[in-house]
Amino acid sequence: MSALKGSIVRLMALVVAVLVVSGCGYHVMRPARGGAGHEGTTLEVSLFANRSYRPNIEATLTDIIVDELAKREGTRIVERGGDLVLSGTVLSYETAHVSYTATDEVKEYRATVTAEVMLRRSATGQVVWKGTLTSFQDFPALDDLVFQQNSEDAAIREISRKLAREVYIHLTEDF
């Protein structure tokens, strides 16, 4: 009798698990129609332009986007002559004070990057997707200028990773 109860409990647990998984909205991401992941389709990532005051931020963002897309299955990155071309512009880079100490000294900054990104077909120039993306990252205010700069650079890299993931999501969703 106890073996029967154990079997029923396992069966019920399996049924509940199947219902939960099937109803949660989870699905495997697939390449967008005409997106960068179709077999035989190659993606060229152009160096982003920079309209911000922060030097080399466009190179950091471009490199991290290339890394993010290269590690994804189904995306073949080429230096030149891709079927699709991903390009963009860093529109702005800003820092702002976000927290203070009890003595009213800056404790933490927030770095924010806004970039415009565009995916187009190289043969026709047709825009497949275009969007403006913004991300931010907080970083500590430090007394040592070198450590402060390193902390800000790390924040920029983290922002670039967040933006790269957003780009990947936009390239793989159905639009």
- Is residue 160 packed enough to be buried (19+ CB in 10 Å), middle (13-18) or exposed (0-12)? buried
Is 139 inside a domain boundary?
yes
Q: How confident is the model at residue 172 (pLDDT cuts 50, 70, 90)?
A: confident
- Tell me the percentage of the chain whose pLDDT exceeds 70: 76
What is the H or E stretch that residue 97 is in?
Answer: strand 84-100
Cβ burial, residue 56 (10 Å; 0-12/13-18/19+): exposed
Q: What is the Cα 77 distance to its own chain's centre?
A: 16
Whole-model pTM? 0.76
41 has pLDDT over 90:
no
What pLDDT is attached to residue 77?
87
Q: How confident is the model at residue 33, as a pLDDT?
A: 41
Gap between the Cα atoms of 2 and 11, Å rounded:
14
Q: How do residues 72-103 score in pLDDT, each as one tens digit?
A: 877 788 888 889 999 999 999 999 999 999 99
3-state secondary structure of 84: strand
> Is residue 36 in some structural domain?
yes
How far apart CA 126 and CA 168 sit, in angstroms, is: 19
CATH number at residue 107: 3.30.160.150
Residue 62 covered by a domain: yes
| pLDDT per residue as tens digits for the range 117-140 | 999 999 899 999 999 999 999 999
In the structure, what pLDDT confidence band is assigned to residue 30 with cuts at 50, 70 and 90?
Answer: very low
**Can you give the residue range of the structural domain that contains 89?**
31-172
What is the spatial distance between Cα 68 and Cα 60, in angstroms, rounded to a whole number? 12
Query: Residue 147 above 70 pLDDT?
Result: yes
